[in-house]
Structure 1
Amino acid sequence: MLFPFDLFLLAALPFPEIDPVFFSLGPLKFRWYGLMYLLGLSGAYFLIRSRARAKNISLSQEQLYDLIVYAALGVFLGGRIGYTLFYNAAYYVEHPLSILAVWEGGMSFHGGLIGTCIALWIFCRRKGFAPYTIADLAAQAVPIGLGFGRIGNFINGELYGRPTDVDWCMVFPRGGDACRHPSQLYEAGLEGVALFLLLWIIGRRDTPPGTVFWTFICGYGIFRSFVELFREPDAHLGLLLGPLTMGQLLSFPMVLLGLLMILIGYRNRALKTR
């Protein structure tokens, strides 16, 4: 059975095995995954600048630079701390110094989201912006980073899918001999392209403050929960509470909270216009 996101895939092709290092200069090695982060942040910068101008939001060049720096720190610190808490707490309790070993890998989107929200709240307090003003701007840019990040995961051959016999399955070097769903590309298509388009459409409409942000929260939760059906669960965690993965357990509350806050936003605006 074919799914809409099959359009993003190249059917029946072997895993390309792209070298994770795209450029070397002596001892320095520049990796595709790091480049994806850079492209995501650059895309966020230009999109936020464009949307701020379109909505007549007074965001200076210096403030925009600061916003990107705050967001980047939130993603990095929150993502790392979130991974240690959500995915491998027992290991890091026994090896606390390994929390600093970021070169070994281990980042959590949900932790990065929490870290970014905290960082942007601090930014708003210091710069005098209404939190939803910045949250709505930033939310529209997040799918850019998500899309590039999942492509980076694909290049690295990590976070691959479950074994399958579909025509477009791939054998990942780290995944043994099984042919698997290229779930990183599913996520790039849904959490990146589809979510970006959804937020772009909503962002151009007259909506209550916070609607774009909470739509992102809800939309990501839906797409991530769906893709987890095809993504290989973390080996050291497996399935939890029956058939659920840790990604689904962290994403389901996002769907409920996002829907609730959208309804509250529209309800409050209706009450004000009476």
Structure 2
Amino acid sequence: MQNISEYVIFNCIAALILVFYSLHVLADNGFNIKSRLLLIFSMSLSFLVGSRLLYGLLYFDRVKSDLSILFELRLVNFSLYGGLLLSLLVFVVVVKRQSVSVYKISDAMMPVLGLALMLSKLGCFFNGCCYGVPTNLPWGMIFERADGNAVTKLLGASPLIKLISGVNHVTRHPTQLYESGFALLAGIAAFLILRSQKKSNTRFGNTSKSGFATLVFIWIYTLGRFISFCYREFPQASDLSNFIRGPLIYGTILSVTTVLFLLKRR
């Protein structure tokens, strides 16, 4: 129960940081209070819907047998990129109708989005979900949710408890920390680009080059997700599900952002 509460706390903190900073950025770009609240609500709702829809696609057989999985009022059974992609679509549509630069707002949001995603994945780490495949590397960790029995889940996974319970030590890739690190790295990269824009009129400082911070953030974080995907364990996922999640979604996003970045450089 303690781990679940930590997971909820980290994700709620991440959401609150993102919402309040979004309200600030939107206000700076001329959105009135009604427009700000409507956009935040629309993006939040689309994130929940998109994340559940992609989860339903990735785990179609499981969802087909129990549709209630998609309607649970808990932070479970969702796929992050489904929510991000649908909320991004809503964001682009709404902002364009306001005749405001999409890239200008998204650039300003990227460093804080990196912080929010980092906190969210730390919540996964403390919850013990989203763990990786077994490894013998020095930083491998034990996740009771993956390999523990009733004893280790109740009392923990200390060497003494493992010895008493007879459960083997299985160290796994802490893929949650990999993703958390890439989120932080992407946020820092976006922050440095924005600072460069403010300080001087370098190749990143020209206002016509807006969008670099957004594209770099998306590229770095998606690359991190792809790398983490290669080391993560998906006990209930099919080969088709893993193909859609990895090479198709992550590969497409990496390709598109690379092309957009190169076009902007020209």
Distance 1:71 1:40, change over 3 A: farther
Aligned counterpart in structure 1 of residue 175 of structure 2, from 183, 202, 208: 183
Alpha-carbon contact 2:189-2:213 (below 8 Å) kept: no
Task: Measure how far apart 1:257 and its partner are.
Answer: 0.5
For residues 72-108 of structure 1, give each alpha carbon's deviation from its aligned partner in whole angstroms, at most 9, with x where no partner exists: 22222211111112x2123323433432124382111
Distance 1:104 1:145, change over 3 A: closer
Aligned partner letter, 2:225: R
Q: Tell me how far apart the structure 1 counterparts of residues 265 and 24 of structure 2 sit (CA, whole Å).
A: 26
- State percent identity of aligned pairs: 22
CA RMSD of aligned residues (A): 2.9
Q: Which runs of 5+ in 2 are unaligned?
A: 148-167, 198-204
Alignment correspondent of 1:196: 187
Alignment correspondent of 1:256: 255
Alignment correspondent of 1:20: 3
Alpha-carbon contact 1:70-1:123 (below 8 Å) kept: no
Secondary structure, in 3 states, of the residue corresponding to 2:2? coil
Task: Measure how far apart 1:62 and its partner are.
Answer: 5.1
Q: Tell me how far apart the structure 2 counterparts of residues 70 and 81 of structure 1 sit (CA, whole Å).
A: 16
Alignment correspondent of 2:215: 214
Distance 1:144 1:69, change over 3 A: farther
Q: Tell me how far apart the structure 2 counterparts of residues 40 and 251 of structure 1 sit (CA, whole Å).
A: 23
Q: Tell me how far apart the structure 2 counterparts of residues 62 and 95 of structure 1 sit (CA, whole Å).
A: 38
Task: Measure how far apart 1:154 and its partner are.
Answer: 0.9
Asked if residue 41 in structure 1 is aligned to residue 15 in structure 2, the reply is yes
Aligned partner letter, 1:41: A
Alignment correspondent of 2:115: 144
Distance 1:141 1:74, change over 3 A: farther
Q: Tell me how far apart the structure 1 counterparts of residues 12 and 145 of structure 2 sit (CA, whole Å).
A: 25
Distance 1:146 1:248, change over 3 A: farther
Task: Measure how far apart 1:227 and its partner are.
Answer: 1.8
Task: Measure how far apart 1:111 and its partner are.
Answer: 0.2
Distance 1:261 1:68, change over 3 A: same
For residues 166-192 of structure 1, give each alpha carbon's deviation from its aligned partner in whole angstroms, at most 9, with x where no partner exists: 22222111211421111111211112x
Distance 1:116 1:190, change over 3 A: same
For residues 175-230 of structure 1, give each alpha carbon's deviation from its aligned partner in whole angstroms, at most 9, with x where no partner exists: 11421111111211112x11110111122322523222222221222111122232
Alignment correspondent of 1:237: 237
- Structure 1 or 2: larger helix share? 2
Alpha-carbon contact 1:45-1:64 (below 8 Å) kept: no
Within 5 A, what are the aligned runs for 1:102-121?
Answer: 102-103=73-74, 105-121=76-92
**Number of residue pairs matched by the alignment:** 235
Asked if residue 132 in structure 1 is aligned to residue 103 in structure 2, the reply is yes
Distance 1:244 1:88, change over 3 A: closer
Secondary structure, in 3 states, of the residue corresponding to 1:119? helix
Q: Tell me how far apart the structure 1 counterparts of residues 23 and 213 of structure 2 sit (CA, whole Å).
A: 16
Aligned partner letter, 1:252: G
TM-score of the pair, normalised by structure 1: 0.74
Task: Measure how far apart 1:147 and its partner are.
Answer: 0.6
Alpha-carbon contact 2:124-2:176 (below 8 Å) kept: yes
Task: Measure how far apart 1:261 and its partner are.
Answer: 0.8
Instruction: Point out the more displaced range, 210-219 or 62-71.
Output: 62-71
Asked if residue 167 in structure 1 is aligned to residue 138 in structure 2, the reply is yes
Task: Measure how far apart 1:239 and its partner are.
Answer: 5.0
Alignment correspondent of 1:226: 227
Q: Tell me how far apart the structure 2 counterparts of residues 113 and 45 of structure 1 sit (CA, whole Å).
A: 14
For residues 55-74 of structure 1, give each alpha carbon's deviation from its aligned partner in whole angstroms, at most 9, with x where no partner exists: x6334555444443333222
Secondary structure, in 3 states, of the residue corresponding to 1:228? helix
Alpha-carbon contact 2:3-2:126 (below 8 Å) kept: yes
Task: Measure how far apart 1:49 and its partner are.
Answer: 6.0
Task: Measure how far apart 1:52 and its partner are.
Answer: 6.7
Distance 1:217 1:149, change over 3 A: same
